[in-house]
Amino acid sequence: MLLVTNDVDEALLLADRIAVLDRGPAARIARIFDVNIDRPRDRTAMSSDLAFTALRTEIVNYLSSLEVGGAEQAVVADVPHVEEIESTEAAGSAIALPGIEPIDLRPPMAYREAAETRTDRRFLEFSGLTKVYPTADGPLTVVDGIDLHLNKGEFVSLIGHSGCGKSTVLTMTAGLNPITSGWAALDGHYVDSAGPDKAVVFQAPSLFPWLTARDNVALGVERVYPKATSGERRDIIEYYLDRVGLSDSMDKRASDLSNGMKQRVGLARAFALSPKLLLLDEPFGMLDSLTRWDLQDVLVEVWNRTQVTTICVTHDVDEAILLADRVVMMTNGPNARIGQILDIDLARPRDRKSLLVDPRFYEYRETVLRFLAEADHDEKVAVS
């Protein structure tokens, strides 16, 4: 069997040999790795197998060493100093949804009072966050009571099987999807509408194709920094495009950029808004491994500088661990909840190479993989 893949773990799970192509044009097989791991192979058990981890590290490092094109080397610069606009979000009000008990959407008084101190703790808070979608077979409770706090500057990865409701949690938090019951509050304000204080990057690039990279970033920036001069705004736009490695492509139209470059623009746009909260929904899911690693590095680098509070939905266990302070694992839907929360106690700044030789990384990896495998098993038992 000949399998073409850009997923190293998939290759290690299945193959006897892995042939790595170098970068085109005129690509050739650059190296062949023998996979001497006993069969049958089990994803979770393999994670703690020394032969597996050593080979995986070797292949990942080898792939990373193949030259990656498309992104120019970013130059280190300081973030321009401009005061961002204050959130104009109101504290929220009661909203009645058809067929559902009207609820007071405002956080409790004590919460609001505590929030007034502008403490950094509980910067983002979910309480009983629930989503019921109307379907042809009646109401479907997809997300059933998420309780979670994030301190300011925290990075949380949200992981779970396909369809469990990760995007639903994210879009509710962004104010793009009405909350059925419970509430989400950001910096003391109940979330009831979308706004530039909550920047979102989706899996599919969402740029205006006829505008340049620069103009796509500029769109939000003009709104967020009304008091800045045009020179200051330009500094912000160029700073972030530079950070994501697009300093030579700022004036290219979005339609002329590769998918990886488009996601770079999406990240630059999100960071340039100086959001209180950054919401990422599988931002690199459509990209091949090499581009994905490259963009993860970009994200880590920019995040280290800005420390913006972030929730990142991902299917990629390594990505979840590399990026996060905590990995939040969701149970399978319907009625999905938080199943387990894993604290990632790895020093920052982090880089992929040193993670791959850190035994704690593999312990974390195994914990998440085991959770996902058990959720999978529970679902099969429930169905049969």
Ligand X SMILES: Nc1ncnc2c1ncn2[C@@H]1O[C@H](COP(=O)(O)OP(=O)(O)OP(=O)(O)O)[C@@H](O)[C@H]1O
Question: Interface with ligand X includes 283 (CB under 6 A)?
Answer: no
Closer by beta carbon to ligand X, 290 or else 375:
375
Contacts with Mg ion by CB under 5 A: the residue count is 1
x-or-dash pattern for Mg ion, window 153-192, by CB under 5 A? --------------x-------------------------
Burial class (CB in 10 A: 0-12, 13-18, 19+), 230: exposed
x-or-dash pattern for ligand X, window 161-180, by CB under 6 A? -xxxxxxx------------
Closer by beta carbon to ligand X, 128 or else 178:
178
Range in contact with ligand X (rule: CB under 6 A) among 112-120, 155-163, 253-261, 364-372 = 155-163
CB of 219 to ligand X, least distance (A): 26
Closer by beta carbon to Mg ion, 47 or else 167:
167
Question: Interface with ligand X includes 133 (CB under 6 A)?
Answer: yes
x-or-dash pattern for ligand X, window 296-335, by CB under 6 A? -------------------------------------x--
Question: Interface with ligand X includes 135 (CB under 6 A)?
Answer: yes
Closer by beta carbon to ligand X, 142 or else 246:
142
Closest residue to Mg ion, judged by C-beta, is 167
- d(Cα 177, Cα 115) in Å, to the nearest integer? 24
Closer by beta carbon to ligand X, 70 or else 285:
285
Question: Interface with ligand X includes 384 (CB under 6 A)?
Answer: no
CB of 163 to ligand X, least distance (A): 4
Residue 220 binding target from ligand X, Mg ion, none, CB below 5 to 8 Å by type: none
Contact positions vs ligand X (CB under 6 A): 133, 135, 142, 160, 162-168, 333
Interface with Mg ion by CB under 5 A: which residues?
167
